Amino acid sequence: MALFGITVKEWREANADKTGNIRDYTDISQLVYLSNLENLNALFINENHSQHERPVKLNSIAIYQMKRLMDDAGIRKIGRG
């Protein structure tokens, strides 16, 4: 939810014609963001953040990271590689 803005269930309902899962249809940068968010989620769980608080924090972090990386000329250059 934090990265894609929808739940897995919502994605499956909207993409009933597709096999696999949402990760199968993402690009490499989204997979990097997702891996980072999964690690942060584990950290937040360990720090006893509530189930309600974690997605809010993760979404905020995802937005920040995507904006920063999209604005980075070096990252854009790699994408054209």
69 against 62, higher pLDDT: 62
C-alpha span between 71 and 28 (Å, rounded): 17
3-state secondary structure of 35: helix
| Mean pLDDT, residues 47-72 | 88
Q: pLDDT at position 18, please?
A: 92
Q: What's the pLDDT score for residue 2? A: 63
* 49 pLDDT tier (thresholds 50, 70, 90): very high
CB 54 within 8 A of CB 45: yes
This prediction has a pTM of 0.68
Helix (H, G, I), strand (E, B) or coil at 24: helix
Higher pLDDT, 81 or 30: 30
